Structure 1
Amino acid sequence: MKRGEKMVKMITTSKEFSKENPVEFNSVQLKSNEDPQISVISYVPEFIKPVTTEPEPVFQDHTSATEDKYPPNEVSTSKLCEIIVVEPLQNNLNCTRTPLISLSSNVKVPTPISNNSFLDLQIIPYLPNDQPGPSTNIMESADVSDSKSEESTNVLFSGQPKTSCNIIISESDISYEDDDDSSFNSIPDSQKDFSSDDVDNDPDFILRKDLAMSSTSSEDEIATVNENLENTVDDGNKKAKTGRKRKAVPEEWSKNKAKLLRNSGKAYTSTSKSQKQMQERQIKPTCTEKCKLKCYNKISEEKRKLIFMNYWKMGNLDKQRQFINKHVTAIKPKYRYIREGSTRKDYNHAFNFEVDREIIRVCKTFFKNTLGISDRPIRTVISMQNSTVGGFLNEDKRGKHRKHNKLDAAIIDGIKEHINSIPRIESHYCRASTSREYIEGGLSIAQLHRDYITKCRLENVPHADYQIYYNIFTKEYNISFWSPKKDQCEDCAAYNNAEDKEPLKIKYYSHLEEKDLVRKEKELDKENANEKCIIAVYDLQAVMPCPRGDVSNFYYISKLNVLNFTIYELGSKDVNCYVWHEGEGARGVNEIGSCVLSYLRNLQDKIKDDFDVIFYSDNCCGQQKNKYMIAMYIYAVTYLENLNSITHKFLIKGHSQNEGDSAHSVIERNISRSLKSSPIYVPEQYITLIRTAKKKGNPYKVHELNHESFFDIKKIADGVGSNFSSNEDREKLKMGDIKVVRVEKKFNDRFYYKCSYKEDSFKTVMVKTRATKKKTNLCSELQPLYSTKLDVSDTKKAGILTLIDKNIIPRFYKNFYQSL
């Protein structure tokens, strides 16, 4: 439908259509010497004015609605009305909805338009199919195959194909002569399908014209009634699944399901103890011949069924009460005589239905039986009418007393204080991209609540129940009991969540291609691994807290962090574990570089021939992807005689899962099994569990480190050179863009790199420039990183010693913690 046009119902009764081929129109049918019985729907522009001339009929081939092929002297408008040939409406009872936008006109006839051509035409109202209601058939199906009608539609105009379509028109699309739609042209195109009130968008909207159009109602609306309840629940589930914590889904509650079924007139099972099966609502017989109003003759059975269906289709008690309130009015006589002592205070009431925009009064029996209700809802509405002003009924207030006890602010503060007293650790894998904190696994919210109650009783203060504690813990804190096992790729998540994926497509597919290439390259290196080419993956395991046990007191103190750096050889599947705690060293590039250098020295002692090493790791810039590690690699190939080269290949961010994770998983399972029998008091117990974690094959090799085991790796970079930011071609280099780094013994003044696994050749960076060759000197002696042990925070140390004083930790371990 074009901008500025309106859809109108129109039957033309003009006899001046054509002098040579007269055609007569009645209120519903179009007749001529050749044409059959057809229905007429016209699309008329808003600006069409009455025609004063009598144009000759022009019968043309099928054309588009936008083409103007008629002479200007025949019609005084720039656009013509369309005549759409359809099947007879009274026979098309089993109709199927067809969007108006898909209708195409097969006939173009220049028809004079007059202002008096708007007559009554039955139009099928657009009923929403998303409301539940009883599965009552509105009417009996009719046979739509009429051989005469099929033949007649083919001879209306020669050479034109028959067009058979069904038209469903919403009330919002129907315009009348007195409408004021001068602002219609200013409405955006995206909103042209709806009127200003958007009644088609309201699932609870019921057209008043439903009663007048019962003869053309579609059975499809009844077929979808039973599916609406399931769809409503499904939609609720989809929405409720969003979020980190499980949320309430009221649509899934049995009481709400039963309530929706009850309000929709469907059969349901009572939620009381009786579990009584309630039957579906059925329309009841009309009143008898004794009725003074003769209601059974006023409204047909088909329209009664439509009233019944629309009433229960609302599925809302407040709307049903409003419907009854609208159609029940009090009869107030001029004079009223009340007997002395009579308890009757209410007036008599009249009942009516609105059919074809006509108010039809009916008796109470006819009213109740048509809606399939009893006296109770009517009495409820009448009592509400007496207590309201302006004719508006109050909403249903059952279960909405709103007299909830307000929780004391001191109790809420006590809960938050208890939760804040629990030490949390940051994520090892996702600490750069998430604010979620983690509590050591093994506890639950229920256990925390029990500890909270014990604490409140000792302090003689009131406490809250579990549900309040749970709500505060899950809704106001971003805390989890388990650390994530792998990173989530930011690039993949950004692409999947983006509405407009086109700008991100190139970056996204390049990202996936790099991921596949590095994995294929790792598999190829794994197959070629031998004694002269060592392929290894290294990574730092998640922090292991100490002490650790099932006693609740362990969870309310800050613990000592134990670190485990693993190097997994892909060829031999040997695993080297370097273990230390935070009192001996941190977890930066100096500690990681010292572990890698120690591993390379062990290879030097183990392998007598020349060999090469290829490392794989993640992209942690603070630990291994920086100039200090490159300097350490140059130092290693310079002073280790048999080491020819070191190549470091970085896995793609977000997809850095590797074989080293399997070793971490085996260790963590062994720790979990051990905790079931006894707590872990000191880091030495972790070392024993790591050694015994692998039950088959070679056990893990554990290297116990202390503060004397770490070297100042950053000092090596000063002796190697100063240029790590530009290559030989004077191109700028960012460490974050590097995918592969390689150093060789022959050229210890440079390193080679690739920024993509699709590149065939390396680029070169001269670490020692001409200006720095004389100033820098790579010393063979490494300087120790620490001269003494590292200080542990006083709060952490005091908390652990408190557990020792309470005999929760054996006093045997007191000397160890005092020496921290």
Structure 2
Amino acid sequence: MRQKRGKKRPCNPDNWVMKKTKTLRNSGLGYVSYKSKRSVSARKIRPSCGSKCRLKCSEKIKEEVRQQLFSGFWSLGDVQRQREFIVSYSDEIKPKYRYSSTQNFRAMNRAFYFDVHNVRMRVCKQFFMATLDINARTIQTAFSKKSSTGFVAEDRRGKHNNHPTVDPEIKESVPQFINSIPRNEGDNVHSVIEKQISRHLRASPIYIPDQYVTLIQSAKKTGLPYKVHVLNHETFYDLKVFAESFGSNFNVNTERSTVTWHDIKIIRVEKQHANSFFYKTSYENEEFKEIDVRGNKRSRPRKSMPSQISSQLVLAYSKKIPLAENKKKDIKDLIQKRIIPQYY
């Protein structure tokens, strides 16, 4: 049995674009910046310090070993562990002379090392940075995270508490505003009926309109069932002729302002005002505005609503509307091919 998929998908941070970009960056691989969309090339070993180096780094450590050191450093894939590597393979050296007459003493020197065949070999700073393809700022940042006890502090980027937040009053006002909007019961009825029809279509097709009547009546699982009023051609009236008999103003209100129907949110009709209807263009408005369908022009006398409405109504159809010939032909063809059972 296939598991039903919920509306909310589970969180999978490994598939986030920013997460993938961060993993590539920390692994020394090429990536595309999430913010600037700039392509950044992969890390690679830079040329060594050369033959003039006082420590003779190039002679002590061959290119094959440099490649192993480079691969091992970037395979860590975590900026925290990379900083710990830099700190653990470098030492601060106090200079021999520090002049006491100046306020700014000479900064501490640093010695850098690599482990080669279990032997700790000292190298110069240029060789250290070129082998790992890092810069002086990376080393400076690693030492700034080092505490007095020798531990490297955790990377706190994105883990602070200074995140932008939404005012609690705004959060509370959103559900209050939603709850203040009048509920349309028709939307709920429509949703229940659509679910019932969808469930039925998964099991078997619908061939005739009478099947919809049964489905609608049985759509409600609790409470009284829906009442279905079946309509025919004698149920529809020609309202165009009826509307012309008493008025056709639907765009100008009693304040002589033009009304845009797309802006209307609520419409109300009252029995005692048969010639008018009332509307609101915002849920926050307290008062309704009125539109008199008879018109507002002073030069033209207003028409009154006919006293006997039923006598003014004319049937829209005098007989059943027949099927179009092409449609009837297609239905017969489906029956002959037994796509529609012959019973129907």
TM-score, normalisation: structure 2 = 0.52
Q: Distance in 1 between matches of 2:214 and 2:177?
A: 34
Residue in structure 1 matched with residue 199 of structure 2 by the alignment: 486
Residue in structure 1 matched with residue 240 of structure 2 by the alignment: none
Report SS of the residue matched to 1:807: strand
Shift in Å, 1:301: 2.4
Q: Distance in 1 between matches of 2:224 and 2:20?
A: 58
Matching residue within 85, 99, 108 for 1:323:
85
- Aligned amino acid, residue 297 of structure 1: E
Residue in structure 2 matched with residue 382 of structure 1 by the alignment: 143
Distance 1:250 1:310, change over 3 A: same
Q: Is the 8 A contact 1:314 1:320 kept in 2?
A: yes
Residue in structure 2 matched with residue 565 of structure 1 by the alignment: 214
Q: Distance in 2 between matches of 1:359 and 1:257?
A: 35
The alignment status of 1:277 with 2:44, answered yes or no, reads no
**Counterparts in 2 of 1:430-579, with a 5 A limit?**
483=195, 485-486=198-199, 564-565=213-214
| RMSD (CA atoms) | 4.8
Shift in Å, 1:322: 1.6
Identity fraction in percent: 30
Shift in Å, 1:578: 7.6
Matching residue within 62, 65, 70 for 1:308:
70
The alignment status of 1:354 with 2:115, answered yes or no, reads yes
- Aligned amino acid, residue 214 of structure 2: F
**Counterparts in 2 of 1:263-302, with a 5 A limit?**
263-273=26-36, 275-302=37-64
Residue in structure 1 matched with residue 225 of structure 2 by the alignment: 587
- Aligned amino acid, residue 321 of structure 1: R
Q: Is the 8 A contact 1:267 1:279 kept in 2?
A: yes
Q: Is the 8 A contact 2:21 2:34 kept in 1?
A: yes
Report SS of the residue matched to 1:411: helix
Matching residue within 278, 286, 294 for 1:807:
278
Matching residue within 141, 155, 165 for 1:396:
155
Residue in structure 2 matched with residue 74 of structure 1 by the alignment: none
Q: Is the 8 A contact 2:98 2:106 kept in 1?
A: no
Q: Distance in 1 between matches of 2:200 and 2:78?
A: 47
Distance 1:578 1:277, change over 3 A: closer
Distance 1:804 1:316, change over 3 A: farther
Shift in Å, 1:296: 2.2
Report SS of the residue matched to 1:354: strand
- Aligned amino acid, residue 587 of structure 1: P
**Counterparts in 2 of 1:572-651, with a 5 A limit?**
586-587=224-225
Report SS of the residue matched to 1:379: helix
- Aligned amino acid, residue 244 of structure 1: K
Residue in structure 1 matched with residue 170 of structure 2 by the alignment: 411
Distance 1:270 1:342, change over 3 A: farther
Residue in structure 1 matched with residue 322 of structure 2 by the alignment: none
- Aligned amino acid, residue 412 of structure 1: K
Distance 1:390 1:687, change over 3 A: farther
Aligned length: 235
Q: Distance in 1 between matches of 2:107 and 2:201?
A: 70
- Aligned amino acid, residue 30 of structure 2: A
Residue in structure 2 matched with residue 701 of structure 1 by the alignment: none
Report SS of the residue matched to 2:110: strand
- Aligned amino acid, residue 384 of structure 1: K
Q: Distance in 1 between matches of 2:184 and 2:60?
A: 76
Report SS of the residue matched to 2:145: helix
Q: Is the 8 A contact 2:94 2:108 kept in 1?
A: yes
Shift in Å, 1:285: 2.7
- Aligned amino acid, residue 565 of structure 1: T
Distance 1:247 1:340, change over 3 A: farther
Q: Distance in 1 between matches of 2:28 and 2:183?
A: 55
Distance 1:487 1:423, change over 3 A: farther
Q: Is the 8 A contact 1:283 1:369 kept in 2?
A: yes
Q: Distance in 2 between matches of 1:249 and 1:441?
A: 35
Q: Is the 8 A contact 2:57 2:127 kept in 1?
A: yes
Q: Distance in 1 between matches of 2:200 and 2:60?
A: 72
Q: Distance in 1 between matches of 2:41 and 2:116?
A: 29
Shift in Å, 1:324: 0.8
Q: Distance in 1 between matches of 2:32 and 2:87?
A: 29
Q: Distance in 2 between matches of 1:316 and 1:253?
A: 17
Distance 1:344 1:281, change over 3 A: farther
- Aligned amino acid, residue 285 of structure 1: P
Report SS of the residue matched to 2:115: strand
Report SS of the residue matched to 1:353: strand
Query: Where does the alignment leave 5 or more consecutive residues of structure 1 unmatched?
Result: 1-241, 426-437, 443-479, 490-518, 524-534, 542-563, 567-576, 592-682, 693-800, 813-820
Deviations 1:97-133 (A, max 9, x none): xxxxxxxxxxxxxxxxxxxxxxxxxxxxxxxxxxxxx
Distance 1:348 1:439, change over 3 A: farther
Deviations 1:659-679 (A, max 9, x none): xxxxxxxxxxxxxxxxxxxxx
Q: Is the 8 A contact 2:114 2:122 kept in 1?
A: yes
- Aligned amino acid, residue 324 of structure 1: I
Q: Is the 8 A contact 1:328 1:349 kept in 2?
A: yes
Shift in Å, 1:536: 9.6
Report SS of the residue matched to 1:402: coil
Distance 1:262 1:688, change over 3 A: farther
Shift in Å, 1:314: 2.1
Query: Where does the alignment leave 5 or more consecutive residues of structure 2 unmatched?
Result: 237-265, 271-276, 281-290, 294-304, 306-344
Q: Distance in 2 between matches of 1:299 and 1:578?
A: 86
Distance 1:687 1:343, change over 3 A: farther
Shift in Å, 1:340: 3.5
Q: Distance in 1 between matches of 2:14 and 2:190?
A: 33
Distance 1:424 1:381, change over 3 A: farther
Q: Distance in 2 between matches of 1:324 and 1:488?
A: 66
Q: Is the 8 A contact 1:350 1:361 kept in 2?
A: yes
Q: Distance in 2 between matches of 1:488 and 1:330?
A: 77
- Aligned amino acid, residue 268 of structure 1: Y
Q: Distance in 1 between matches of 2:53 and 2:268?
A: 90
Q: Is the 8 A contact 1:424 1:440 kept in 2?
A: no
Shift in Å, 1:255: 4.3
**Counterparts in 2 of 1:253-268, with a 5 A limit?**
254-268=17-31
Deviations 1:127-156 (A, max 9, x none): xxxxxxxxxxxxxxxxxxxxxxxxxxxxxx
Residue in structure 2 matched with residue 367 of structure 1 by the alignment: 128
- Aligned amino acid, residue 261 of structure 1: L
Residue in structure 2 matched with residue 235 of structure 1 by the alignment: none
Q: Distance in 1 between matches of 2:114 and 2:199?
A: 66
Q: Distance in 1 between matches of 2:15 and 2:189?
A: 33
Q: Distance in 2 between matches of 1:410 and 1:392?
A: 43
Higher RCO (CA < 8 A, seq sep 6+): 2
Q: Distance in 2 between matches of 1:488 and 1:361?
A: 77
Q: Is the 8 A contact 2:45 2:130 kept in 1?
A: yes
Shift in Å, 1:250: 5.1
Q: Distance in 2 between matches of 1:392 and 1:424?
A: 63
Distance 1:352 1:405, change over 3 A: same
- Aligned amino acid, residue 415 of structure 1: V
The alignment status of 1:245 with 2:8, answered yes or no, reads yes
Distance 1:337 1:315, change over 3 A: same
Report SS of the residue matched to 1:351: strand
Report SS of the residue matched to 2:54: coil
Report SS of the residue matched to 1:352: strand
Q: Is the 8 A contact 1:423 1:439 kept in 2?
A: no
